[in-house]
Structure 1
Amino acid sequence: MTGSGARSIYVASAEGDTGKSTVALGVLALLAATGGRVGVFRPISRADAGERDYILDLLLQFTSVDIPYEDCVGVTYDDVHADPDAAIAEIVARFHTVADQCDNVLVIGSDYTDIASPSELSYNARIAANLSSPIILVVKALDREPSEVRSLAEMLMVDIKNSHASTVGVVANRCDPASLIDVANALRDTGVRAWALPEDPLLTAPTMGELQEALDATLYSGDGDLLDREALEVMVGGMTVEHILERLSESMVVIAPADRSDVLLALVNANAAEGFPRLAGIVMNGGMRPHPMIEGLVKGLHPTLPILMSRHGTYETARIASHTRGRMSSGSARKIDAALALMERHVSATELVHELNLHVPEVVTPQMFEYQLMTQARSDLKHIVLPEGGDDRILRATDRLLRRRVAKLTLLGNPESVRRRGNELGIDLTDVDVIDPTSSDLIDEFADVYTELRKHKGMTREKALEVLRDESYFGTMLLHTGRVDGMVSGAVHTTAQTIRPAFEIIKTVPGVSTVSSVFFMCLADKVLTYGDCAVVPDPTAEELADIAVSSASTAEAFGISSRVAMLSYSTGGSGSGKDVEKVQSATELVRERAPELLVEGPIQYDAAIEPSVAETKMPDSPVAGRATVLIFPDLNTGNNTYKAVQRSAGAIAIGPVLQGLNKPMNDLSRGALVSDIVNTVAITAIQAQQLSLVERSRDKGGMA
């Protein structure tokens, strides 16, 4: 235990290239998911003066406290060289500055440089002992037999013990996937909890951008956005074209002189052709440009494949490229997702929390809420359709969702162009159905169903065939016919384009006539539910009651105990006017329709969420000061309030989440980020899980 009362965990290794940052990232995500104030501390920074430690930068984005970068660093390697004991004293003092502001702290040990004596691990263990931080030891299993991994771990644990620190767990990282179970079994004899993670080449592969920097190369042609694609393998194209082509593999970078026109043209065309692997890029070495005629031909093909131009010779280019190791930095989205997925699949969160003996406060942080979304979505995999398959954000979100195993996915769009773009971005769509509504075999069946649904509006089969070529309508029909469990759209389409098909086809839940929405507002220490901030402009009292009942139900589905505040500019009977009367009527309707709900209204925002104000204005209310579901009287108030809180209080707004429909369908903002899409798909999957539970319960009741 530290003097501050915070608990900490120290992630350390005894050699380079162990993938320690992968483990640290996964542990930090778990710490954040337990709630409370979670910080990170780097005792010895690898950054030179004026630079930032990229590992610390990476980890800081997963913390739940706002502590400046400079406060999260202990000392430099130069400080350790100069006076190891004084450096430890400084580390301890600076650590407590962080720990005093946190419930749990992740400490990530130094990177192996052979600068400390007697060993860098022993020095890290001395630091851990002074911080009262138990150690998670990371060992590299690559090119080692299971017995060698166990012997290494046991030897290092003795070193840690001799430095008066304790080992709480061992992670064998970068295992040969074929020997993963054998390594895990071998580590059982170490006497501490142990886990094994397989080697993932993506985590150590450099991006084309990193190769460009290492080679001091320039981008000759191609899509600059694709420089973030990882190069999983390097090949020197020094043979004849046919032999080069037969050796190509997915995400390979090929090195060849610019005067090998045959190789350059063959690679550019192979990358665009069906049946060939999608390359990460080409490096033209030697400092030459292609012949003007070849240059014109390449440019005329408009390749998106990044082609770099390096001044180095073939040998030096190949040497640099093969020795360039990729970093997992704060902008490495795919590497971060891959690392988190590895930890989620192979390390038991329950075991780790038990071993670490963490503080688990009652507060709910944004990181905790998002982690719970992913965990719940994974518990019962649902099938979600994304109609905007041609959008890069959708494709990147698809990659993240697949890596994290959040949902099964179907994309709509032209299969050839969607898969081609996915390949260019380095996204594996093998397990994703891509359907073109304009040519799908389902169009005739859907036309018959839609014609029947809309015959009262004069719908004809010919008109239905035309309507259903639209992605939003086709996706809605996939949902209506049970081929998918939910739909997420709106990154490209307007809200009206997304919701109109739902009104026509999906329709509303029995007893609810109003489709509305909520935002989950993730504040520093709690999650509030705001409704309606996106759909109904000026609800009547009846519609407001619908919104309140639906919002309470949505909140409960996501683990938020519902205490409903019907907001107004008046609290209780302190004001009058038609706007107040509308909220009064809506509150009474909620009490009639759902007598089990805790609801208060009319009530002002401050009285709803601030206990001290509630004590003055409504001292006997079970909702005032403790409201979790806040219902705004109109769209103008709700939309502006959620945006004001989002920007001014730094809240994370997740939504809008549509409610009141018979089946889960959600609308994205056209400015949605990849993370917004991921969260919305997880929410839609959870809504589908809830619907399945209701249907199973109904079926059991019918059978009884």
Structure 2
Amino acid sequence: MTRSVYVTGIDRGDGRQVVELGVMEILSRQIDRVGVFRPLVHHHPDRLFELLRARYRLSQDPATVYGMDYHEASTLQAEQGTDELVSTLVDRFHLVARDYDVVLVLGTDFADTQLPDELALNARLANEFGASVIPVVGGRRQSVDSVLAETRNAFRAYHGLGCDVLAMVANRVARDDRDTLAEQLADRLPVSCYVLPDEPALAAPTVAQIGQALGAEVLLGDDSGLARDALDFVFGGAMLPNLLAALTPGCLVVTPGDRADLVVGSLAAHSAGTPPIAGVLLTLNERPSDGVLTLAARLAPGTPVLSVAGNSFPTAERLFSLEGKLNAATPRKAETALGLFERYVDTGDLLGRVSAPSSDRVTPMMFEHKLLEQARADRRRVVLPEGTEERVLRAAEVLLRRDVCDLTLLGPVDRIRKTAADLGIDLGDAQLIDPATAELRDAFAERYARLRAHKGVTAELAYDVVADVNYFGTLMVEEGLADGMVSGSVHSTAATIRPAFEIIKTRPESSIVSSVFFMCLADKVLVYGDCAVNPDPDAAQLADIAVQSAATARQFGVEPRIAMLSYSTGTSGSGADVDKVREATELARARRPDLKIEGPIQYDAAVEPTVAATKLPDSEVAGQASVLIFPDLNTGNNTYKAVQRSAGAIAVGPVLQGLRKPVNDLSRGALVQDIVNTVAITAVQAQSTVPTPHEKATAQ
């Protein structure tokens, strides 16, 4: 059984950090304890390990990650031979391997290493570690024939040296050549071959990386602005109209510092979104006046303006030699890299080939990975009514970079674009709609007026109502123009879900709309319902909540074992509250005899095997419940918050259930990752939605 995966190459410049990050992503989806080992390192700390540690919350001691530095290695090899070097590195590898289920090994980088026959060294280390190998071949600025030959030669080299080659990766291939190369490799090699196209955003340095490399002074700009990718360089020396015509999205404007007109003009263009730029780099050590800088800061808040001492020509030489690097300070590049990897690599097949031991534990990170993977498997469109909000825009960028779903953002389009530009966010192919001016407004008003005519809603009133972003988004879902909706980061729960109650309504088999939270504990995921919607459900409603929650749990990979909670277990108690839970349990069992349901049962007996053995020794649910149904909102809401705060659980939700189509509400304190998770959940829910007769008629 494979205990480690060794990602290596054949030369420098292959961009294999994308593959290393992608492999770590798929390993961490299934395996709780993943270690990292880099046999040889140029300097401490290693930037890729720092990224992995931050992103995957690794607890590994950094001192155990590195075998030795290259200078120590070359000295040891020269004085005592390759066998001694390999033996030392193997010993240090096993110090890591003994503590982890699987180890990701980051091979040597072929850059100024002074090691003879570096490929053979990587192959020998992989064999001694018992690792399967994923060689990466760089294809930037090469023809299809050249990359094909290099990939085949790399396979022969590693295979010929006795390596277990897991898969081959050709990276940074010209986008137009990707499909042709993939077809040819599939016919020529006996292992899986993955071809990743060149991605300009990965090669582009961030403004912060440029500033650091050039020793620039930051005159203006915040952390968000400095994190922007510089996708192009535009050198300003001509008159302003000519410069404006040359600007490209994401470019860094390089101009002498005494050209205040070009500085102000570039930032004004950015503010208008025509186009959004990465920033401005001033040369000649010239600094604009305080008045110009004040105006610049007001025109484009957060947009970086940097100053360097040299003139434009040597600055240009250095700029064109810079490349973007993945590190802990570039999380957006990491999202882009993972999106690229997941789009072009069959991650399920690759994980199966690794044959790593699967963990029974389900950590919060594993659950989040599974959500994104499920959503990506059957891509849907989700509408986000709060399109001008910063957290929503940042979440949208993550979702688009990871290729999770298609998005529609609602709000004044110019304002969305300007806010995104100010934040340095690339919205890619996201659809932007302003409900106030949309062509759909008239049709939506007619539809809403018909739906609510029994409540006295006129066409004129409906025209005003559907301009509201939540009503407009809900109508998009109802009309099949979107598959689901997520709102609530700045709107109340009522404002988010009232349109759904009026327009989408409940499923035929559901009597009410309810909710669940996915409670991600350290080693498992529990489903809590209902903690957000129904204050005091009666027995029939409680039974409905149990059945709905079981279906939601199963949809997201949690096998439902349902505990109907009460302050009493079994037949030990009586009273109206216990009787309600007992009746609800009987109703749920009658409705769904295939489900495992226990109730009434106390929380400790539901989740703790030792307590269950005493109170309900013969129960299929007691001690191992996965779906916990609370008798009322007061109990459920307080319990989920107590567990969230006291046990450090991650609460994902509330996830609404019972609607014909998915609409989900965010907490107004939702973090960016919360929004990403909720959108992914909504997309997965939409995968099982059956088209309405109205949609079928419209489609025909």
Q: Shared fold (TM-score greater than 0.5)?
A: yes
Distance across 2 between alignment mates of 1:78 and 1:650 = 44
Structure 1 residues 158 and 589, CA gap change in structure 2 (3 angstroms): closer
Given that 2:14 and 2:137 are in contact with CA atoms closer than 8 Å, whether structure 1 keeps it comes out as yes
Change (3 A) 1:563 1:698: farther
1:177 counterpart residue number = 175
Shift of 1:281: 0.8
| Bigger shift: residues 39-48 or 585-594 | 39-48
Is 1:10 the counterpart of 2:3 in the alignment? no
Q: Structure 2 CA distance, aligned partners of 1:246 and 1:660?
A: 53
CA contact (8 A) 2:2 2:130 kept: no
Out of 463, 466, 477, the position equivalent to 2:464 is 466
Task: Determine if the alignment matches structure 1 residue 252 to structure 2 residue 248.
Answer: no
Residues 601-625 of structure 1: per-residue CA shift (max 9 Å, x gap): 1222232223333222212111112
Assess if the C-alpha contact under 8 Å between 1:222 and 1:302 holds in 2: no
What residue in structure 2 maps to residue 74 of structure 1? 67
Q: Against the structure 1 CA distance between its residues 159 and 585, is the aligned structure 2 distance closer, same or farther, given a 3 Å change threshold?
A: same
Q: Which moved more, 1:352-361 or 1:486-495?
A: 352-361
| Deviation by residue 1:551-598 (Cα, 9 ceiling, x = unmatched) | 011112223221101122322123444433332222122223322221
TM-aligned CA distance change 1:39 to 1:530, over 3 Å: farther
DSSP 3-state at the match of 1:47: coil
Question: 2:28 matched to 1:28?
Answer: no
Change (3 A) 1:548 1:94: farther
Whole-angstrom CA distance in 1 between matches of 2:499 and 2:559: 32
Contact 2:302 2:423 in 1 (8 A): no
Q: When the two structures are aligned, how many residues end up with a matched partner?
A: 690
Partner of 2:51: 58
Query: Which residue pairs with 2:304 in the alignment?
Result: 306
Superposed CA deviations along residues 524-555 of structure 1, whole A, max 9, x for unmatched, are 44322111222233433333222211101111
Corresponding position: 1:282 with 2:275: no
Secondary structure of 2:659's counterpart equals: coil
Q: Given that residues 6 and 99 in structure 1 are in contact (C-alpha distance below 8 angstroms), is that contact kept between their aligned partners in structure 2?
A: no
Indicate the larger mover: 105-114 or 424-433.
424-433
1-structure distance, mates of 2:469, 2:86: 61
1:19-41 CA distances to partner (integer Å, 9 max, x unpaired)? 11100111122222344543333
Which secondary structure state, in structure 2, belongs to the residue aligned with residue 483 of structure 1? coil
Contact 2:300 2:422 in 1 (8 A): no
**Could you tell me whether the CA contact under 8 Å between 2:393 and 2:420 is conserved in 1?**
yes
> CA deviation digits over 1:272-312, x for unaligned, max 9?
346x3321111111222224664565456455532222233
Query: 1:256, CA displacement in angstroms?
Result: 0.8
The one-letter amino acid of 2:395's match is A
Would you say the 8 A contact 1:268–1:303 is kept in 2?
A: no
SS in structure 1 of the partner of residue 597 of structure 2? strand
Cα deviation, residue 131, structure 1: 0.8
Residue 43, structure 1, aligned to residue 39, structure 2? yes
Task: Tell whether the 8 Å contact from 1:136 to 1:171 is kept in structure 2 after alignment.
Answer: yes
- Structure 1 residue 454 displacement after superposition: 3.5
- 2:500: which partner in 1? 502
> For residues 150 and 116 of structure 1, what CA distance do their matches in structure 2 show?
28
After superposition, where does 1:445-464 map in structure 2 within 5 Å? 445-464=443-462
Task: Work out the CA distance in 2 between the residues paired with 1:300 and 1:192.
Answer: 56
Aligned to 2:488: 490
TM-superposed CA distance for 1:136, in Å, is: 0.5
Distance 1:10 1:62, change over 3 A: farther
| Distance in 1 separating the partners of 2:622 and 2:57 | 27
Report if the CA contact (8 A) 2:653-2:678 is conserved: yes
Deviation of 1:350 after TM superposition, in Å, equals: 3.9
Q: What is the aligned-residue identity percentage?
A: 47
- Counterpart amino acid of residue 357 in structure 2: H
Alpha-carbon distance in structure 2 between the residues aligned to 1:70 and 1:632: 47
| Alpha-carbon offset, residue 222 of structure 1 | 4.6
Are residues 177 and 518 of structure 1, via their aligned partners in 2, closer, same or farther at CA, if it must alter by over 3 Å?
Answer: same
Match of 1:112 in 2: 110
Asked whether the 8 Å contact 1:64–1:365 carries over to 2, the reply is no
CA RMSD of aligned residues (A): 2.9
Mapping of 1:545-584 within 5 angstroms?
A: 545-584=543-582
- Using the alignment, how far apart are the partners of 2:181 and 2:672 within structure 1? 36
331, 334, 342: which one aligns with 2:332: 334
What is the alpha-carbon distance in structure 2 between the residues aligned to residue 86 and residue 463 of structure 1?
83
1:115 Cα offset (Å):
2.4
Match of 1:634 among 620, 632, 635: 632
Contact 2:435 2:468 in 1 (8 A): yes
Between stretches 655-664 and 301-310, larger displacement belongs to 301-310
SS at match of 2:688: helix
Tell me by how many angstroms 1:114 deviates: 3.3
**Structure 1 Cα separation of the partners of residues 475 and 677 of structure 2:** 23
Please say which of residues 74-83 and 166-175 is displaced more in the overlay: 74-83
Checking the alignment, whether the CA contact within 8 Å between 2:606 and 2:625 is kept in structure 1 is yes
- Which is worse superposed, 672-681 or 70-79? 70-79
Residues 396-442 of structure 1: per-residue CA shift (max 9 Å, x gap):
22222223332222111001111232344444446332222223333
Q: SS in structure 1 opposite 2:11?
A: coil
Q: Does the C-alpha gap of structure 1 residues 379 and 696 become closer, same or farther in structure 2, counting only changes over 3 Å?
A: farther
- Aligned partners of 2:271 and 2:421 also within 8 Å: no
Partners of 1:417 and 1:603 lie apart in 2 by 52
Bigger mean CA deviation after superposition, 37-46 or 594-603: 37-46
Tell me the CA shift for residue 194 of structure 1: 1.9
Structure 2 partner of 1:202: 201
1:588 aligns with 2:581: no
Structure 1 residues 300 and 12: alpha-carbon distance in aligned structure 2, compared to 1, 3 A threshold:
closer
Q: 1:662 to 1:354 in 2, by over 3 A?
A: closer
Question: Could you say which residue in structure 2 is the equivalent of 1:396?
Answer: 394
What is the correspondence of 1:99-248 to structure 2 with a 5 Å cutoff?
99-157=97-155, 159-160=157-158, 164-188=162-186, 189-222=188-221, 224-248=223-247
Partner Cα separation in structure 2 for residue 433 and residue 149 of structure 1: 37
Native 8 Å contact 2:375 2:683 kept in 1: yes
Deviations 1:328-368 (A, max 9, x none): 12342321222112222212224323433333445544444
1:314, 1:340 → 2: CA distance? 35
Aligned equivalents of 1:592, 1:410: Cα separation in 2: 42
Q: Is the alpha carbon distance of 1:86 and 1:498 closer, same or farther for their aligned partners in structure 2, counting shifts above 3 Å?
A: farther
Of 415, 418, 426, which residue of structure 2 is paired with 1:417?
Answer: 415
Contact preservation (8 Å) 1:476, 1:501 = yes
Q: CA shift at 1:389, angstroms? A: 0.2
Q: CA deviation at 1:121?
A: 3.0
What amino acid is the match of 1:123?
L
Residue among 672, 675, 678 paired with 1:674: 672
Q: Aligned partners of 1:216 and 1:644: how far apart in 2? A: 49
Give deviations 1:128-178, integer Å, cap 9, x for gaps: 122110211111111223333344345445554575544332211111112
Partner of 1:679, secondary structure, is helix
Which deviates the most, 351-360 or 139-148? 351-360
The residue type equivalent to 2:370 in the other structure is Q
Task: Note the C-alpha offset of 1:698.
Answer: 14
> Which digits, 9 at most, give the CA deviation of each residue in 1:510-529, with x for residues without a partner?
34333221122233443221
Counting only pairs closer than 5 Å after superposition, residues 313-328 of structure 1 correspond to structure 2 as 313-328=311-326
Which amino acid in structure 1 is aligned with residue 467 of structure 2? R
Letter of the structure 2 residue corresponding to residue 241 of structure 1: L
Q: Deviations over 1:70-106 (max 9, x none)?
A: 3333333344244255554454344334333433322
Residue type matched to 2:206 in 1? T
Q: Tell me how far apart the structure 1 counterparts of residues 600 and 483 of structure 2 sit (CA, whole Å).
A: 37
| Matched position secondary structure for 1:266 | helix
Question: Taking structure 1 as reference, are residues 362 and 667 closer, same or farther at Cα in structure 2, changes over 3 Å only?
Answer: same
- Contact 1:174 1:197 (8 Å CA) reproduced: yes
Q: Distance in 1 between matches of 2:617 and 2:501?
A: 42
Measured in 1, the distance between the counterparts of 2:533 and 2:37 equals: 44
CA distance in 1, matches of 2:482, 2:450: 21
Match among 530, 533, 536 for residue 532 of structure 1: 530
Secondary structure in 2 matching 1:229: coil
